[in-house]
Amino acid sequence: MRTFRIFFNTIRSMSFKKIMRLLSLVLPHPFYSLLSFYATLQAYSIAQKKFPKTASTNGIGNAFRHALWCCFIMMYCCKISSPEKALAFCKRMTDLHEELFPNKPLETKMDLHNNKIGIDYFMELLPGIHRQFFEKSFFIDGLEKKMKDAKVLKNLDDDFEGFLVYLDEK
């Protein structure tokens, strides 16, 4: 119930223009949209359990959550469609999220970077596993390992290709 209240309040706070942008993505792709919503709930719940202090901030838990979110969107959408179509939708969905709910520039860079890490990680695993057999644990374990090498993003010029990034919250 709490989740739906948050969802409803979020939609209610959006401008008409933003709602129309969101609808232009979700209405043509209802199944992807439902699966993405489910992926969002799953990723948020797992990140909150594993990183209760930083999953909702700009810390390392947030980096994990964004990458996991993209892995889950890709995983669920690939079960009903091709990886190429799932990738295109995932990229549009996660980029639109950053546009509709803007942050400070460094936070946006961090989120977009970690989204890319999640997408890239999924695509890296794809050749070795049939897309119908992916499980959440594949991504959770792999991203936890990647977190050991995560980098602190300090300015917009930083480039940590292939590494999760987070903001130092001290």
The predicted pLDDT at position 102 comes to 85
pLDDT tens string for the chain (170 positions)?
Answer: 566 676 777 778 888 998 899 999 999 999 999 999 999 999 999 999 999 998 889 999 999 999 999 999 999 999 999 999 999 999 999 999 999 988 999 999 999 999 999 999 999 999 888 777 888 988 999 999 999 999 999 999 999 999 999 998 65
Strand partners, 165: 151
The predicted pLDDT at position 2 comes to 65
Q: How far apart (Å, rounded) are the C-alpha atoms in residues 39 and 109?
A: 22
The structure's pTM equals 0.91
The predicted pLDDT at position 60 comes to 93
**Residue among 110, 99, 29 nearest 64 (CA):** 110
Q: How far apart (Å, rounded) are the C-alpha atoms in residues 18 and 163?
A: 31
Assign 76 to helix, strand or coil. helix
The predicted pLDDT at position 131 comes to 74
**Chain centroid, CA 10 distance in Å:** 17
Q: How far apart (Å, rounded) are the C-alpha atoms in residues 156 and 105?
A: 8
Secondary structure of 12-58 in HEC code, one letter for each residue: HHCCHHHHHHHHHHHCCCHHHHHHHHHHHHHHHHHHHHHCCCCCCCC
The predicted pLDDT at position 135 comes to 86
The predicted pLDDT at position 35 comes to 96
